[in-house]
Amino acid sequence: MRVAAVAIAGAASVAAPRAVAAQAAASQPVSAGRPAADSAVPQVAPTAPPRPFVPDSLDGEAYGSILGGVARVYFAPEDALVAERVRELLDGQPPLPGLPDTLPRGVHAVLAHSPAAFDELTGNVVPEWRAGVAIPSLNVLVMPTGEGVPVFEGDGLRTLRHEWAHLGLHAYLGELRVPRWFDEGYAQWASGGFEAMEAWRLRVLIPAGRAPAMDSLELGWPRGREEARIAYLLAASAVTFLLEEGGEEGLRLFLDRWRAARSFESAFRETFGLTTSQFEEDWKRHVKRRYGWLFVLSHSAVFWLLLALVLLFMVRGRQSRNREKLARLRAGELPDAPAFWRDEPGTEGSVRPDPGVGEEP
């Protein structure tokens, strides 16, 4: 959604995990095996953060914590320096697009030092390719430190911002249900958008009917790596297309109306002038128009391989023609020492030069 970074270009937002479900609200059930957070989530007031749920230890390591201005960071002893850097990064996060600059606040950021610690904390409900997880119902984000990309470099920074955006959006909308495609698309857009070079995948998949419909993503986010990559790309490109005209101000107006009317569809129609079904059709036409076959070919490895071979044959053919032309030119040139210069007088074909001045005939 740039899926990310792959780690994968995106990260998962999950419902309250089984490991900590007892400390979540009773109305927040967990769907086993689903990596999506589409259940109701309470709004988190900046002055009243939810009760911490992080265990004292994970995967046999005791965890400590440091408090920043917007988040408390939990970490294993080996990640103390990383935790300090993450605290600084979270305190320095720029405002999320379309949201008040006070959100999110009171976040619990957990740095899982091992895959086992990550799974223990999240209830093992997220796929193995995940780069990070947001749990909006608990105002928690979880980032791995013992695997993959460092949290504070490159794709790790984008993933951190991605999860931060999930928490901010849900904190603002309170218990409202957020369509998954918009939730992930917003987080991708807020964390820098998606790589246009990846958009050719949609151009190929949409005509073939292999791109999932937006409403189908509500039933469950794909767990396979490649399927999830496509779903993140779909969500990111759709939200990017939606906001190309209105920009951040249009997004703010839409979120305000959504929060006031408590209806995604009515706020969408009032702000953008069309239904979500009409928008999906417009978006598909936009993808086909903007990322046409020339774009697809120009971003295909096969295309560049074929182009390289064509250029190679052209160069070889030109070199061959140049050699033949040079040979013909050399064949028509007079030699440096013609044979008749070397013939002895009186022999056949010899030419005797005229006597010069002062010479006797």
pLDDT of residue 334: 62
pLDDT of residue 170: 97
Confidence of residue 23 (pLDDT cuts 50, 70, 90): very low
Confidence of residue 244 (pLDDT cuts 50, 70, 90): confident
pLDDT of residue 223: 73
Predicted TM-score (pTM) of the model is 0.70
Give me the domains of the chain, ranges plus CATH numbers. 12-291 (1.10.390)
Tokens of 115: 């895959």
Higher pLDDT, 314 or 275: 275
pLDDT value at 3 more than 90: no
Exposure string (b/e) for 204-231, b if CB count within 10 Å is 16 or more? ebbeeeebbebeebeeebbbeeeebbbb
- Beta-strand runs (E) in 22-130: 57-58, 61-62, 64-67, 71-75, 107-112
Segment 133-153, tens digit of pLDDT: 999 999 999 999 977 667 878
pLDDT of residue 43: 34
In percent, how much of the chain has pLDDT > 90?
A: 40
pLDDT value at 112 more than 70: yes
Higher pLDDT, 253 or 2: 253
pLDDT value at 296 more than 60: no
pLDDT of residue 298: 54
What value does the mean pLDDT of the chain take? 75
Q: What is the mean pLDDT of residues 298-318?
A: 64
Q: Residue 73 in contact with residue 90, Cβ under 8 Å? A: yes
Q: What is the mean pLDDT of residues 228-253?
A: 88
Confidence of residue 210 (pLDDT cuts 50, 70, 90): low
Beta bridge partners of residue 346, listed in sequence order: none
As a three-state string, the secondary structure of 217-273 is: HHHCCCCCHHHHHHHHHHHHHHHHHHHHHHHHHHHHHHHHHHHHHCCHHHHHHHHHC
Range of weakest confidence among 28-37, 118-127, 292-301, 331-340: 28-37
In percent, how much of the chain has pLDDT > 70?
A: 63
CB count in 10 Å sphere of residue 312: 10
Higher pLDDT, 199 or 304: 199
Range of weakest confidence among 13-22, 33-42, 238-247: 33-42
Segment 170-197, tens digit of pLDDT: 999 999 999 999 999 999 999 988 776 6
pLDDT of residue 357: 52
Please give the single-letter amino acid code of residue 167: L
Which residue from 204, 193, 195, 194 is spatially nearest to 296, judged by alpha carbons? 204
